[in-house]
Amino acid sequence: MSTLENGIRCSPAIHAPGERQITFAQAIHEAVDEEMTRDERVFAIGEDIAVAGSVFKVFVGLYEKFGPERVIDSPISEAGIAGIGVGAAITGMRPIVDIMFCDFATLVMDQLVNQAAKTHYMSGGKLKVPMVLRTTMGAGSRTAAQHSQSLHALFSHIPGLKVAIPATPYDAKGLMKSAIGDDNPVVFFEDRALFQQVGPVPEAEYTLPLGQADIKRTGDDITIVATSSMVYVALEAAEKLAEAGISAELIDPRTTSPLDAGTLIQSARKTGRALVVDEGYRQYGVTGEIASVIADGAFYYLDAPVKRIGAMSVPVPFSPAMEDLTIPNADSVVEMAKTMCGRG
Amino acid sequence: MGILCFMILPVQCQRKSVDDSLTEPTREGTHEGRPYGASFPSESEVERHVYA
């Protein structure tokens, strides 16, 4: 934790004076590069990831460094790519399966949900599936309903899968390295809006455990739990709330499965109020699970009902004006937080 | 009805002073006074085998 001029304490993932600054995309690239260098069993497969370096250019240079046997361009068949990944993982490799948009991860549900997630359990622990499925999420890039969803809740629902959803370059690198080294299938969500986000990342080797939330900013009056790009929405909201005399604590779960319930409950008990913000659909979403965990663990400490803000229950519109209406923003977070604090 | 409100309100106002042991989250639960774990494997024991 570092302390800002106004006395607010911040996570090193947000504020680290003197530290090297790189983008989220560079952080992912570094993590994959380091793990492929460290372990020859690690390879990547996906559409346009090799020669093109992936459509979002995160893998540029890896094909030239590691060659066509370890950075593999695949046909346009998500089910096939994921199936190859599961098989390779069971037989001792450590694949990184690249699915361009999480909207297309619906095509790999059998491979992930019925095979990867259950292989260890159904084999009595004899087999394991150390595979990372990295994919992108998020609205705001005007790519319409089939390329804008945030479907991490679907995978968080499944026992046997782990789900990472980092917000900062620091978290992205540390979690990606842990995901590649994990013996379980990990679904790794990267928000496309964050690829050019710059943040502090140490040059020295480090990893971050899957299942440990991060207190991005300390506060006393209300806990805001936010995931992925919503962390920045919540940070902006926290600044506006501070101007209104409301001190907001910001918690980033970093992984939705496993979920660090202890940190969430502890913060809610301290502040007495909790607001959950996530870009996935609100109905049956991640916000519902987190709100339930907090209500259960901090009920007698709460001064207001746990509230949540998610994407509207509509296909993400192509019209920019309408798209912006459907996803949470700083103003909607501020308005809800003020109401919860009796300042609305 | 009024008497009922007067009985409930003080409890609500003092909720933060409720004994922590009554509010700690628990996964074990009880069944007819016995912990579930006495006759069934606990949830965490079963879940332990899901992940490598």
Q: What is the pTM of this model?
A: 0.89
pLDDT at residue A28 is higher than 90: yes
B42 pLDDT band, cuts 50/70/90, is low
Preceding peptide of A258 cis, ω within 30°: yes
Which pLDDT does position A7 carry in this prediction?
77
Rg of chain A over Cα atoms, rounded to whole angstroms, equals 20
pLDDT in tens, A201-235: 999 999 999 999 999 999 999 999 999 999 999 99
Percent pLDDT > 70 in chain A is 100
State whether A265 and B52 contact (CB < 8 Å).
no
Q: Count of A–B CB contacts within 8 Å?
A: 31
Which pLDDT does position B32 carry in this prediction?
45
Tell me the one-letter amino acid at A91: T
Tokens of A50: 């090799």
Q: What is the CATH number of domain A21-200?
A: 3.40.50.970
The arithmetic mean of pLDDT across residues A281-295, rounded, is 97
Q: Give A118-164 as a DSSP string.
A: THHHHTTTS-----EEEEEE-S-SS--TTS----HHHHHTSTT-EEE
Q: Give A103-122 as a DSSP string.
A: GGGGGGHIIIIIIITTHHHH
Which pLDDT does position A53 carry in this prediction?
96
Which pLDDT does position B7 carry in this prediction?
52
A69 pLDDT band, cuts 50/70/90, is very high
Domains A21-200 and A211-340 share a fold: yes
A124 pLDDT band, cuts 50/70/90, is very high
Could you give the C-alpha distances from A104 to A25, A81, A135, A321, in angstroms and in order?
21, 12, 9, 25
B25 in contact with A at a CB cutoff of 8 Å? yes
More confident call, B25 vs A312 = A312
In the CATH hierarchy, which fold is given to the domain comprising A211-340?
Rossmann fold (3.40.50)
Cα A40 from chain centroid?
A: 26
- Phi and psi torsions of B18, nearest 5°: -60, 140
A8 pLDDT band, cuts 50/70/90, is confident
With beta carbons less than 8 A apart as the criterion, state whether A249 and A224 touch: yes
Give the residues across from A42 on adjacent strands: A94
pLDDT at residue B10 is higher than 50: no
Which pLDDT does position B43 carry in this prediction?
61
Shortest distance, CA A275 to any CA of chain B (angstroms): 20
Query: What are the residue ranges spanned by the domains of chain A?
Result: 21-200, 211-340
Instruction: Tell me the pairing of strands A186-191 and A162-164.
Output: parallel
Count other C-beta atoms under 10 Å from residue B25's C-beta. Answer: 12
pLDDT at residue B17 is higher than 70: no
State whether B52 and A296 contact (CB < 8 Å).
no
Residue A113's nearest CA partner among A41, A178, A73, A163 is: A163
